[in-house]
Structure 1
Amino acid sequence: MSKRQSAKYKLDRRMGENIWGRPKSPVNKREYGPGQHGQRRKSKLSDFGVQLRAKQKLKGYYGEIREKQFRKIYDEAARLKGDTSEKLIGLLESRLDAIVYRAKFVATVFAARQFVNHGHVRVNGQKVNIPSYRCKPGDVIEVRERSKQIAVVLEATDLAERDVPDYIDADHNKMTATFTRVPAFSEVPYPVTMEPNLVVEFYSRQ
């Protein structure tokens, strides 16, 4: 098992939820946590524990973003006018790797990060290999010509488990996607309940 798969499945087991809605998630069969003590009755979490869990789940959903980077995204959201939790989700969904994943160019957010890293993606005609690159409304993201026939790309576009959200206009014949707008939290198709308000509370108390 690859490190990426291991990290993905470990997060599902730790949270006891199918974070990405994948049919092969281990929690589809075993809802308890990993390890020899995974089936023990879980104690009630404190307020801090609930907030920490919400942060870990949201951070993990976007490919286990490093804490320093995730905190930086939160700090930027906190500086913007408006609801901090909404701004946080908007910034996360504006990431290039998130858009590549949402457009169904690849099957997982982990694969999206690797896909961008390996130079398979262009933004407005220019190669961008930084997964955290911030896209703006109107930006056109495309798979470079010689990467369009890669097996993982062809398989991902046929995935029935998720749809392309309304804020991304994807053309799978041309392998292009336009980021039409920064979404509201309610528009993001999370397979499980996300609570960005608890993430804001977690960082606010520090």
Structure 2
Amino acid sequence: MTKRTESKYKINRRLGVNLWGRAKSPVNKREYGPGQHGQRRKKPSDYGVQLMAKQKLKGYYGNISEKSFYKYYEEAVRRKGDTSENLIEILERRLDAVIYRLKFAVTPFAARQFVSHGHVTVNGQKVNIPSYMVKDNDVIEVREKSKQLAVVLDAAQSSERDVPEYMEVDHRAMKGKFLRTPKLADVPFPVQMDPNLVVEFYSR
């Protein structure tokens, strides 16, 4: 088990939000942060608000490393259109994010591990890189030998969340398709995300 996986609920406590909308989150019982001074709160500065927005978005996608996250920001800036919308599109095209959205894994952390262990194909080819960028109309499938794994079946049957409209899925065949580029409003975040504040943070 990775340190990121072990600390996923610490992220919730630190940020004070139920980042993935899960019933098990400790924030449901204790809204204050972890540690001896977790109950002390003061109004954050503009920098603090922007930092919090970055930490929420970075944490939501499995606590992506700062180096990788900044590269996604740079790519979003290079592309035409709204930088904050571009950033969300890039993050949603990560293969581990797609696996999570299709309900083949119960958390983004589990989705990353699932991909890394070689349980997934894209257009019939095995891909074990969680950061692989999925394209429109790509077909994502759980490999035949992995379709009956308890973790996959449990995730597919979970009622905690729904598959978004920019994807389609057949849970009997354990196969899905990435249909189109999502907009921020299309993405079913359980908490408010502010990618515009992330852009402000990096462009300071």
| Smaller-chain TM-score bracket | over 0.9
4+ residue runs of structure 1 moved beyond 6 angstroms?
none
Q: How far apart, in 1, do the equivalents of 2:134 and 2:4 lie?
A: 25
For the Cα contact (< 8 Å) 2:53–2:193, is it kept in 1? Answer: yes
Equivalent residue of 1:81, what SS? coil
Report percent identity of matched pairs: 69
Q: How far apart, in 1, do the equivalents of 2:2 and 2:67 lie?
A: 24
- Any idea what the Cα deviations from partners look like across 1:15-55, whole Å, max 9, x if unmatched? 11100000000000000000111112x11111111001100
Q: How does 1:109-148 map to 2 (within 5 A)?
A: 109-148=108-147
Q: How far apart, in 2, do the equivalents of 1:3 and 1:79 lie?
A: 32
Deviation at 1:4, TM superposition (A): 4.2
What is the letter of the counterpart of residue 98 of structure 2? I
Task: Give the corresponding residue for 1:26.
Answer: 26
TM normalised by structure 2 equals: 0.98
Equivalent residue of 1:17, what SS? coil
Deviates most, 5-14 or 44-53: 5-14
Task: Give the corresponding residue for 2:75.
Answer: 76
* In the alignment, structure 1 residue 37 sits paired with structure 2 residue 37: yes
Task: Give the corresponding residue for 2:97.
Answer: 98
RMSD: 1.0
Q: How far apart, in 2, do the equivalents of 1:108 and 1:3 lie?
A: 15
* In the alignment, structure 1 residue 14 sits paired with structure 2 residue 33: no
For the Cα contact (< 8 Å) 2:105–2:151, is it kept in 1? Answer: yes
- Any idea what the Cα deviations from partners look like across 1:86-111, whole Å, max 9, x if unmatched? 00000000000000000000100000
Task: Give the corresponding residue for 2:165.
Answer: 166
- Any idea what the Cα deviations from partners look like across 1:100-148, whole Å, max 9, x if unmatched? 0000001000000000000000000000000000000010000000000
Unaligned runs of 5+ in 1: none
Task: Give the corresponding residue for 1:156.
Answer: 155
Unaligned runs of 5+ in 2: none
Deviation at 1:3, TM superposition (A): 3.5
Q: How many pairs are equivalent?
A: 204
* In the alignment, structure 1 residue 49 sits paired with structure 2 residue 48: yes
Deviation at 1:7, TM superposition (A): 1.6
For the Cα contact (< 8 Å) 2:84–2:195, is it kept in 1? Answer: yes
Task: Give the corresponding residue for 2:63.
Answer: 64
TM normalised by structure 1 equals: 0.97
Q: How far apart, in 1, do the equivalents of 2:131 and 2:111 lie?
A: 11
For the Cα contact (< 8 Å) 2:4–2:63, is it kept in 1? Answer: no
Deviation at 1:5, TM superposition (A): 4.2
For the Cα contact (< 8 Å) 2:140–2:176, is it kept in 1? Answer: yes
